[in-house]
Every structure is written in C-alpha cells, then in structure tokens.
Amino acid sequence: MIPSAHAEALNVLHWWTSDSERQAADRLVRQLAAQGVEWHDDAIPGGGGGAAIKVLTGRVLAGEPPDVAQVIGRTLTDWAGLGLVRPLDDVAQRGHWRQVMFPVVLETVSRGGHVMAAPLGVHRINTLLVNHHVLEQLRLKPPRTWAEMEAAAKVMRAHHVTPLAWSDEPWQVATVFETVLLAEGGPRLYAELASTTGWSSWQDARVVAALKRLRWLRDLDDEPTTEEPWTSATRRLQSGAAGMLIMGDWARGELQAWGEHAGLDFDCVAVPQTAGMHLYSIDTLAMLVGRNAHRAEQEHMADILAQPATQMAYNQAKGSVPVRTDIDPAQLDACARDSWQTLARPGAPLLPSITHRMAAVESVRDAIGEVLHRFVRTPGVTPQQAQAQLLAIVRGAAP
C-alpha cells in the first residue's frame, strides 16, 4: 500500500533500550523510512518489558493507545480478543505470510484464524553463552550436561572466575527456571506445564528437581547477588569475570553490539539437556486500534517489517532469527543457524516461553516470577513449598 503524501509518523511503544536492542530498532527505523513510513520512538526501559507493558496497559485503558506496540504472545492474543488490535489479514495475504513463515510464528500471531501482529524475530531462551577465552585458558569445552557444567564450574572457581553470571531480577530468575524445567522435565512435561489447563502437572516431582537445580545454579555466582540488569550480567561474561551465562539469545546480540565475535570470543550452546529443543519467544509489533486515520500507515509498516531485507537487517543485530523459512541460513552465524535450523526441523520440540509471554497470561507470568524470586533469595523456603505456591497460582488461573 502506498502511503498518502501527508503520511503521519506512527508512535511505537517498546522496551528495546540496550545497545543491541537499540541497534536492531534503528535498523527497522531505516528500512521503514526508505519506504516512507516514519517511526516515532516511545521506548520504556526495563529488560523483559515489565515496565513497558504496565505503561502500555495504562494508556490503552485511558483510551490513548500508541499506534504500534510490542505486544507479544499470549498478551497479544488476549488483547486481540478484546478488540484492541487491528487484524492484518490483507497484509499477510499480500505478503504470502502463510507460505513463507514458520508455522509456529503464524500460530503465535493468530487468533480465531486472523493474523493480529507483524512478527519480527524468534529468540531462543535455552541458550548458554560461554566466554571463549576463559574456556581456552582453562582447557574446557562448552558444557553439554549438568555434570560437565559442574566440572567446568569447579575449574573456573579454582582460577577465581565466577562460574555463572546470575541476576536476581524476577524475570531473569524465571528465564533461567524455564530452561531448567525443560531440561529436567523434558519437552512433554514442559508443554503441559506451559498450557493453562495442565495445572496438575505442576505436582510432578520433576518440578522439585528443577527448583533444586535453580538454587544450584544461583550458587554458581560468587558475587554478592544483586538484581542487576541483564546487560550487566552480560558484561561480566564479556570481561571474563564470569565464565557462563544462561539467557535468551538477545544477550548474544548484545555481545555482538560490543564488538565480540561468536566462536572467537564466546561460544553459544543449548542449555544442558535441551539440545535439539527450541524454547522460543517471538517478538511482534501489534497495530493498535485507535485513531482510524492511521490504518494505511500501520498496514504499510506491518508489510515492511516482514520483508526479507528488514528481517535480515533486524535479526542480525537483535540476536534472534528471521521468522521466514525462505532465507539463506548461510547468512547466519553458527549460533543463529542452529536456532533457525531447529525451528525448521520437522518434529523438533518447540516450546513456548512462559516468562516471555508465549504461554501464560501476564499476571500469572508475574506471579510465577515473584515466587521464584522469593525462593532463590530465601534459603528457608523449601523446593516443595515453592512448588506448592506455583501450583496454587497456575491452578487458580485455570479456567
């Protein structure tokens, strides 16, 4: 669609404020500007988007939504059900989204058969990043199992390297926890845990095993633990003060933005016991219903966001991978290629991130984060007590 000569700028509310997030957003801004769409930036800082979603909800309830917002996963489909989001079926049809995008992507942005947002990229949450120089110096390999991780941690400690960069921010604890749930429980149990109706699975003994593993991981950080932003934990990995980091692959984007080269300065593997699995979070921009006059620009923006050139430019900076199946994987680095190929592999277990809003509703996601936060900070809380609290939340939220 060709925008009219007096096309207005679109307000875009999002939470991309770190170096790589900013770079990735700026690449979108440039691709859009080249085709006549102007992006007016409304960034709300805060990793994981906790603050952004609150500000956005306030604006929507006040009847003053931005034109475009980073509304993702379950939050997106819930809002679509309330009529707050503009369907993009025409754009999707013209751009052949059904033919060129991963089915899991289409499914995530659809509600009742309608496409409700423009997909940007797929992040892999079960990512373990390792400082390559530390490994080389200590003659270690990236760990593939918990036992290997334990052995590596021992060697790192003996050489005054903190094994794991950890932060107590609730969403970061929850991010690590879900990778551990997948590792300890396997894909079938994880899928049940993530589904809103499967609350009884939270009684499974493997949830207790995951909570124990979570505590063990936290103890691999020898620094007096703080609630540092994810970028600070990533800095500690980069400097070699810490040897390893479990974080969605946006941390990989951040390392790259700081001039690090995958394979040379850092290694990237799946979290132990999750090789071949993809715990995903799909970033999307939704076109909010508000001032109707902006509809043409919103649709034009959605169309450009899905184009191959935009997809490549954005994802290479962001650390995620394109949502399209028709790109050349040779253009991706080894870490991104493994992520993309796992998405493309028939039958590979693809699991929705709970913490990054792919499964649970916003309030449940927050409540889970609070329980885990209290659990890791309070040695007196037993894994069994934390399990009971998680179960109560999920059961209470079940229809």
Q: Which residues form the interface with ligand GAL (CB under 6 A)?
A: 15-16, 21, 47-49, 123, 250, 281, 283, 356
Cβ of residue 159: shortest distance to ligand GAL, in angstroms? 30
Q: Which secondary structure element, helix H or strand E, spans residue 245, and what is its range?
A: strand 242-246
The amino acid at residue 205 is A
Q: Which is nearer to ligand GAL, 59 or 318 (CB)?
A: 318
Cβ of residue 353: shortest distance to ligand GAL, in angstroms? 8
Q: Which is nearer to ligand GAL, 281 or 311 (CB)?
A: 281
Count the Cβ atoms, other than its own, within 10 Å of residue 172: 25
Residue 197 CA from chain centroid, whole number: 23
b/e map 271-296, b = 16+ CB within 10 Å: bbbbeebbbbbbbbbbbbbbeeebee
Q: Which is nearer to ligand GAL, 121 or 163 (CB)?
A: 121
Q: Hunting for tokens 């949830």 — which residue is that?
A: 207
Cβ of residue 71: shortest distance to ligand GAL, in angstroms? 11
Q: Which is nearer to ligand GAL, 300 or 357 (CB)?
A: 357
Cβ of residue 127: shortest distance to ligand GAL, in angstroms? 12
Structure tokens at 150: 């334990």
Strands 242-246 and 162-164 turn out to be parallel
Q: Which is nearer to ligand GAL, 134 or 173 (CB)?
A: 173
Q: Which is nearer to ligand GAL, 189 or 351 (CB)?
A: 351
Cβ of residue 202: shortest distance to ligand GAL, in angstroms? 23
b/e map 20-48, b = 16+ CB within 10 Å: bbebbbbbbbebbeeeebebeebbbebbb
* Cα angle, residue 44 at apex, residues 230 and 194 outer, rounded to 5°: 60
Rounded Cα distance, 102 and 111, in Å: 16
Cβ of residue 74: shortest distance to ligand GAL, in angstroms? 12
Q: Which residue minimizes CB distance to ligand GAL?
A: 47
Q: Which is nearer to ligand GAL, 274 or 353 (CB)?
A: 353
Q: Give the 3-state secondary structure of residue 397.
A: helix
Cβ atoms of residues 173 and 260 within 8 Å: no
Q: Which is nearer to ligand GAL, 21 or 366 (CB)?
A: 21
Q: Which is nearer to ligand GAL, 45 or 263 (CB)?
A: 45
Cβ of residue 36: shortest distance to ligand GAL, in angstroms? 26
Structure tokens at 334: 């080894």
What are the residues facing 280 on neighbouring strands? 124, 352
Cβ of residue 69: shortest distance to ligand GAL, in angstroms? 13
Cβ of residue 283: shortest distance to ligand GAL, in angstroms? 5
What are the residues facing 42 on neighbouring strands? 13
Count the Cβ atoms, other than its own, within 10 Å of residue 99: 9
